[in-house]
Amino acid sequence: MDILQCYHNSRLLVDWSDKRMWLAVASIVFNPTFWNIVARKEYRTKFITRMFNGNGLYGCYALAATIFTLGLIRDAVFKYAVDTQPKAQCMDHWFLQALAYFLFSVGNIFVLSSMWVLGITGTYLGDYFGILMDERVTSFPFNVNDNPMYNGTVMIFLGTALWSLSPAGVYLTCIVHFVYRIALKFEGPFTTDIYIKRDQDRAAAKKTTSTPAKEQTKKDL
């Protein structure tokens, strides 16, 4: 059976009445919604920073631990849903299984290398706490993928779904991809504005410090 025929035969092999499937959907949607709302509130009010006596670094670590834990829960719920949904034996095809291995491996490389390059604060929204990077990261994996964390995660989900012979897992992966695309629509411009404001503040501070020096020079003349 070819891959196209496998798709037509297996695309309806999803039990949408299973509560575990909807729990996986809820977890997938909740995570980026949660961290975007919380991070923006922190940027505007510093409520997490205040919880740690004004220490933004500790606040960022706390949010990082929360997001990481939520990610583990989401992954476990996803895998549980995939394992309990109907299997498509036609997906046990050498090409699909090789693709699953490739996606899972490359996805993990993207995610782990991103975390290594960015560090904890760069990975987990440190810029919303005022912990900004000096310059844009352009090394691997950002030189081959604009959003390696998100795209790598999607690749891991799809690889897991294919390896598990799960049409339901493929559908859930599509939801992950869609939710992340929406999240990027909010995160990208907001983060850009944070750095623009940082640069404007630096320029204003530099102008302020240079003005008295110029006035003093004029007096000396």
Handedness of CA 90, 92, 93, 95 (dihedral sign): positive
- Asked if residue 187 belongs to a known ligand binding site, the reply is yes
Query: Tell me, what's the pLDDT at 165?
Result: 94
Please report, in angstroms and rounded to a whole number, the separation of the first and last CA atoms in the chain.
90
To the nearest whole percent, how much of the chain has pLDDT over 70?
A: 92
Query: Tell me, what's the pLDDT at 204?
Result: 85
Grade residue 18 by pLDDT with cuts at 50, 70 and 90.
very high
Judged against a pLDDT cut of 60, whether residue 218 lies above it is answered with no
Q: Mean of the pLDDT values across residues 34-55?
A: 96
Distance, in Å, from the CA atom of 96 to the CA atom of 91, rounded to the nearest integer, reads 6
Query: Tell me, what's the pLDDT at 137?
Result: 85
Cβ-contact 145, 114 below 8 angstroms? no
Least confident interval from 10-14, 56-60, 61-65, 216-220: 216-220
Q: Mean of the pLDDT values across residues 173-198?
A: 91
Grade residue 40 by pLDDT with cuts at 50, 70 and 90.
very high
Angstrom distances, CA of residue 29 to CA of 26, 182, 195: 5, 10, 27
Distance, in Å, from the CA atom of 138 to the CA atom of 206, rounded to the nearest integer, reads 27
Q: Mean of the pLDDT values across residues 201-210?
A: 78
Query: What is the DSSP-derived secondary structure letter of residue 141?
Result: T
Is the pTM above the cut of 0.75? yes
Output the six-digit token pair for 85.
């949904």
Output the six-digit token pair for 163.
């390896």
Grade residue 221 by pLDDT with cuts at 50, 70 and 90.
low
- Asked if residue 188 belongs to a known ligand binding site, the reply is yes
Q: Mean of the pLDDT values across residues 129-138?
A: 87
- Asked if residue 215 belongs to a known ligand binding site, the reply is no
Query: Tell me, what's the pLDDT at 134?
Result: 82
Judged against a pLDDT cut of 90, whether residue 136 lies above it is answered with no
Grade residue 44 by pLDDT with cuts at 50, 70 and 90.
very high
List the one residue out of 45, 31, 17 whose CA is nearest residue 149: 31
- Asked if residue 130 belongs to a known ligand binding site, the reply is no
Please give the backbone phi and psi of residue 168, each rounded to the nearest 5 degrees, phi first.
Answer: -60, -40
Q: Cα-Cα-Cα-Cα dihedral of 117, 28, 126, 118, to 10°? A: 0
- Asked if residue 105 belongs to a known ligand binding site, the reply is yes
Q: Mean of the pLDDT values across residues 79-102?
A: 93
Query: Tell me, what's the pLDDT at 199?
Result: 80
